[in-house]
C-alpha cells in the first residue's frame, strides 16, 4: 500500500478527498491529514508518505512552501496540487517544482484516477530500476568478496572497492564460515539460486549480530554460501553459532536440502580472512559427509592436518570374481558392506573412501574394451557424501556389467588384428592408413568395419586405450606427467593434457589429487 497525506485548510475538501475514489482498489491508503503545511511537516516526522495532495493557498505555510521543504527531506515523494481558477500563477510555479498534476476545485474524479494510474506506472518503473541497482551492487560486491577470499585482487584495489561497497576493514576479528547445500542425489547439481539464498542468510544472520559487529554472506564459485564475521573480539563466539544455526535451519526448511556448516578460526585483521576461508574449504575437501540431516562444525583450536585416518582397502580379489561372474546382487552387497561398515552418523575422511571407490570403479572398467574414464573421474568433484560416492560406484559398475555380460560379439579377423596391433604398439605412432596397408585393405573400408564392430572410431579407440594406460601409471607410479605422456605415445605434453581431460573428465593433476597413493 502507498501512503497518501491530504493537506487542505478546508475540512470539507479533506473529507471529500477521502471518499472521492476507492483508494484501496488503487493500492493506496490515506495515512494522515493536515490543515496546513506546518501540520503536514509535523505529521511527516513519524510517517513515510508516497503522495501528498495539497492545496496551494493555506495559512502559516503555503502548499508550494510545503513542497519545497518535503523535497529536501524526501526527494521521491510525489505531489498533486489543488487550486482555484484565480491561483494559476501559483500553479505554474508548482509545475516548475515537479508536481505530478494540478487539479482544479471541485476535483474531477476521472482526472484524479488517471493521475494516480500514471504515478503507479512511475513507481513500478522506479522499483524495477532500484532492483537493478541493488542487484548490480550485490553482483559487484560478490565478485569483490570472491576475489578477496581467493586472494586474486591486489590490496589497493580491494581497499578502494571495500570502501565503496561497505565491506568492513577496521574490526578486530575476522572469520569465515561455509554452508554447503546438498539436495537429493549429490551427483546432480542442485537447481538453487545461490545469490538469493546468500541474501536471505545475511538477513537472518543479521538478527544475531551484536553492536559493533557485522556479517556478510555471498556465494562462492563452488556454490557454497560463505559467511564473513567481522567483530570487535569482545563478544565471544556464541553469536556466530546462533547466526549459522539460524541460516542453516532456514535453508533446510525452505529448500528441503541437507546443509553442513563449518566455521573457521578467527584472524586478527581483514588480511586474515582468506586464510579462514581456505581453512573451511579445505575441511570440506578433506571430508565426506554422513547421511545425517545437518552438521555444524567449528575448526577453532583444532588442527585437522594432524589427524590420521586408516585407509581400509576393499578385498579386490573377491570383487574381481564377483564382476566376472556377473552376480549383480552380490556385487551390490559387496559395495554396500564396504561403504556401510564405517557409516557413523557424522563425517569421515574423504581420501580413504575416494581411494577405494576409484579402485572399485577401475576394476570394473578393465572389463570394457573401450572404457570411458570420464564416467569415473568427472563426477568425483561433485561428490560430498558417502552415500553419493557409493551410488557413483554402483552406477559405474552396473553400466560395465550391462555391457560386459551382454552377448559376446565376434570380431572379424581384420578388426581383431587392429585391436591386437593397438594393444602391442600403442606407444608408437598409429594410423589407420598404415594398418590398412599391412592388412591389404582400403583405409575407408577398414575404418567403417572397425566402427561397425568396435562401436567407436579407430582414433577414439587408440586415445581411450592410451588414456587407460596413462591412468594406471598416474595412480600407481611416481612418474612425472611428461614421462607418462611419452610412455603411452603422446610426445606433446600439452596435447596429452587436452586428450586426458577429454576422455577422463579431469586433468592428470586433478586425477592424482583425487587419489592418494600409499
* Best mean pLDDT range from 32-41, 100-109, 310-319: 32-41
Name the nearest CA neighbour of 199 among 138, 245, 250.
138
Name the nearest CA neighbour of 356 among 315, 388, 305.
315
pLDDT band, residue 106 (cuts 50/70/90) = confident
Q: Is a pLDDT exceeding 70 seen at residue 399?
A: yes
Q: Is a pLDDT exceeding 50 seen at residue 383?
A: yes
Beta bridge partners of 134: none
Taking residues 369-375, report their average pLDDT. 76
- What's 413-514's CATH class? mainly alpha
At 137 the three-state DSSP class reads: helix
Cα–Cα distance, 66 to 108 (Å, whole number): 23
Look up the pTM and report it. Answer: 0.58
Cα–Cα distance, 77 to 5 (Å, whole number): 11
Residues ≥6 apart with Cβ < 8 Å to 455: 370
pLDDT of residue 305: 42
**Parallel, antiparallel or unpaired: strands 78-83 and 51-55:** parallel
Q: Is a pLDDT exceeding 80 seen at residue 406?
A: no
Q: Is a pLDDT exceeding 70 seen at residue 190?
A: no
Cα–Cα distance, 63 to 56 (Å, whole number): 4
pLDDT of residue 306: 40
Give CATH superfamily name and number for 2-107.
Response regulator (3.40.50.2300)
pLDDT of residue 486: 92
Beta bridge partners of 385: 289
Q: Is a pLDDT exceeding 60 seen at residue 325?
A: yes
Q: Is a pLDDT exceeding 90 seen at residue 56?
A: no
Cβ neighbour number for residue 225 with a 10 Å cutoff: 25
pLDDT of residue 338: 82
- What's 168-306's CATH class? alpha beta
**CA contacts within 13 A on the Cβ side of 50:** 17
173 — alpha (psi -120 to 50), left (phi > 0) or beta?
A: beta
pLDDT of residue 351: 82
pLDDT of residue 292: 61
Write out the DSSP string of 190-210.
P---HHHHHHHHHHHHHTTPP
For cell 568395419, the residue is 449
pLDDT of residue 8: 92
Fold match, 2-107 / 413-514 = no
pLDDT of residue 184: 57
pLDDT of residue 517: 46
Cα–Cα distance, 338 to 240 (Å, whole number): 38
Taking residues 63-73, report their average pLDDT. 89
At 216 the three-state DSSP class reads: strand
What's the 3-state SS for 344-403? CCCCEEHHHHHHHHHHHHHHHHCCCCCCCCHHHHHHHHHCCEHHHHHHHHHHHHHHHHHH
Taking residues 330-348, report their average pLDDT. 73
Q: Is a pLDDT exceeding 70 seen at residue 345?
A: no
**Parallel, antiparallel or unpaired: strands 258-263 and 225-231:** unpaired
**Parallel, antiparallel or unpaired: strands 214-219 and 348-349:** unpaired
Question: ∠ CA(207), CA(209), CA(212), 5° rounding?
Answer: 140
199-205 long-range contacts (CB < 8 A, ≥24 apart) are: 199/138, 200/250, 200/254, 201/225, 201/227, 201/247, 201/250, 201/251, 204/243, 204/246, 204/247, 204/250, 205/243, 205/244, 205/246, 205/247
**Helix 458-476, helix 443-454: angle, nearest 10:** 60
pLDDT of residue 278: 93
Indicate the range of 35-44, 368-377, 384-393, 434-443 predicted with least confidence.
Answer: 368-377
Cα–Cα distance, 428 to 6 (Å, whole number): 91
Taking residues 83-105, report their average pLDDT. 71
- All three cell numbers of 256, joined, read 528441503
Helical spans, DSSP H, in 266-347: 273-286, 316-325, 328-340
Indicate the range of 186-200, 234-248, 299-313 predicted with least confidence.
Answer: 299-313
**CA contacts within 13 A on the Cβ side of 357:** 29
pLDDT band, residue 504 (cuts 50/70/90) = confident
Name the nearest CA neighbour of 357 among 318, 328, 392.
392
- pLDDT tens digits, 471-494: 888 887 889 999 999 999 998 999
Of the chain, the percentage scoring pLDDT greater than 70 comes to 88
- pLDDT tens digits, 278-301: 999 999 888 887 766 556 777 764
Domains of the chain by residue range = 2-107, 168-306, 316-404, 413-514
Of the chain, the percentage scoring pLDDT greater than 90 comes to 26
Cα–Cα distance, 493 to 483 (Å, whole number): 9
Mean pLDDT of the chain: 83
Amino acid at each position: 500500500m502507498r501512503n497518501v497525506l491530504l493537506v487542505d485548510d478546508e475540512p470539507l475538501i479533506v473529507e471529500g478527498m477521502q471518499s472521492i475514489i476507492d483508494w484501496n482498489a488503487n493500492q493506496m491508503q490515506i495515512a494522515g491529514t493536515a490543515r496546513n503545511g506546518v501540520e503536514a511537516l509535523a505529521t511527516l516526522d513519524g510517517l513515510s508518505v508516497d503522495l501528498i495532495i495539497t492545496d496551494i493557498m493555506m495559512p502559516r505555510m503555503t502548499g508550494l512552501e510545503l513542497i519545497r521543504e518535503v523535497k529536501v527531506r524526501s526527494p521521491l515523494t510525489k505531489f498533486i496540487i489543488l487550486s482555484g481558477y484565480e491561483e494559476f500563477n501559483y500553479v505554474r510555479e508548482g509545475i516548475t517544482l515537479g508536481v505530478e498534476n494540478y487539479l482544479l476545485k471541485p476535483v474531477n474524479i476521472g482526472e484524479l484516477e488517471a493521475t494516480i494510474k500514471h504515478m503507479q506506472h512511475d513507481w513500478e518503473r522506479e522499483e524495477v530500476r532500484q532492483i537493478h541497482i541493488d542487484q548490480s551492487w550485490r553482483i559487484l560486491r560478490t565478485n569483490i568478496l570472491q576475489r578477496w577470499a581467493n586472494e586474486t585482487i591486489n590490496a589497493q584495489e580491494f581497499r578502494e572497492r571495500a570502501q565503496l561497497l561497505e565491506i568492513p576493514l577496521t574490526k578486530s576479528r575476522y572469520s569465515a564460515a561455509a554452508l554447503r547445500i546438498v539436495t537429493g542425489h549429490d551427483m546432480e547439481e542442485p537447481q538453487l539460486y545461490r545469490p538469493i539464498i546468500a541474501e536471505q542468510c545475511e538477513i537472518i544472520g543479521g538478527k544475531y549480530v551484536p553492536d559493533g559487529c557485522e556479517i556478510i554472506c555471498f556465494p562462492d564459485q563452488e556454490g557454497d554460501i560463505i559467511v564473513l564475521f567481522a567483530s570487535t573480539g569482545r563478544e565471544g563466539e556464541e553469536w556466530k553459532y546462533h547466526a549459522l544455526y539460524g541460516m542453516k535451519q532456514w535453508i533446510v526448511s525452505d529448500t528441503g536440502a541437507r546443509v553442513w556448516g563449518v566455521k573457521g578460526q578467527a584472524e586478527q585483521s581483514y588480511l586474515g580472512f582468506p586464510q579462514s576461508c581456505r581453512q573451511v574449504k579445505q575441511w570440506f575437501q578433506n571430508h565426506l559427509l554422513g547421511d545425517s540431516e545437518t552438521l555444524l562444525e567449528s575448526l577453532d583450536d583444532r588442527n585437522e592436518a594432524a589427524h590420521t585416518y586408516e585407509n581400509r582397502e576393499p578385498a579386490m580379489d573377491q570383487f574381481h570374481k564377483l564382476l566376472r561372474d556377473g552376480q549383480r546382487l552380490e556385487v551390490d552387497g559387496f559395495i554396500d558392506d564396504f561403504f556401510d561398515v564405517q557409516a557413523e552418523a557424522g563425517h569421515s575422511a574423504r581420501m580413504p573412501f575416494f581411494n577405494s571407490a576409484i579402485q572399485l570403479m577401475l576394476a570394473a572398467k578393465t572389463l570394457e574394451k573401450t572404457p570411458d574414464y570420464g564416467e569415473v573421474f568427472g563426477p568425483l568433484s561433485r561428490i560430498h557424501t558417502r552415500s553419493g560416492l557409493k551410488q557413483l560406484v554402483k552406477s559405474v559398475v552396473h553400466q560395465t556389467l550391462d555391457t560386459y555380460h551382454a552377448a559376446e560379439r565376434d570380431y572379424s579377423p581384420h578388426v581383431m588384428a587392429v585391436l591386437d596391433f593397438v594393444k602391442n604398439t600403442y606407444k608408437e605412432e598409429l594410423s589407420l592408413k598404415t594398418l590398412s596397408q599391412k592388412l591389404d585393405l582400403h583405409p575407408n573400408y577398414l575404418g567403417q568395419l572397425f566402427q561397425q564392430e568396435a562401436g567407436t572410431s579407430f582414433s577414439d579407440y587408440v586415445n581411450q586405450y592410451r588414456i587407460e594406460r596413462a591412468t594406471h601409471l598416474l595412480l600407481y607410479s611416481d612418474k612425472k606427467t611428461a614421462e607418462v605422456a611419452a610412455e603411452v605415445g603422446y610426445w606433446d605434453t600439452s596435447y596429452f593434457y587436452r586428450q586426458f581431460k577429454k576422455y577422463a573428465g579431469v586433468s592428470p593433476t586433478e586425477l592424482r589429487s583425487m587419489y592418494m597413493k600409499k
